[in-house]
Amino acid sequence: MSSHPDHPEEACAVFGIYAPNEDTARMTYFGLHALQHRGQESAGIAVADGSSVLVTKDLGLVTQVFSESSLASLTGHIAIGHARYSTSGSHSSWESAQPHLSAIDDNIIALA
């Protein structure tokens, strides 16, 4: 990607939501599906409920990575999702799929 493009460029999709008492994983799934054109190499969703963070991610399109059962297992009131379009690194590396989890003291955060 050029550092000075003469037209809009798209790379990756990020979707975040805070919605208590809602199915945030499913809402994030549909948000990523709508943004799928921004990244087609991998997809992932992380959800948090205030005490834990759960992540599902894999290589492939949003519809290939998530199933009804995987979405049902992601419960929480806040979520972040990512669909990857690589600009560096491996195109087919699971380690490059996001969101990534990071621990700071006793706190776990998801980054996309």
Integer angstrom CA distances of residue 15 from 12, 90, 105: 10, 23, 26
Residue 36 phi, psi (nearest 5): -55, -30
Q: How far apart are CA 96 and CA 21, in angstroms?
A: 31
Out of 12, 17, 27, 108, which one is annotated catalytic?
12
Catalytic residue list contains 64: no
Q: How far apart are CA 111 and CA 25, in angstroms?
A: 16
Which residues are tagged catalytic?
Answer: 12
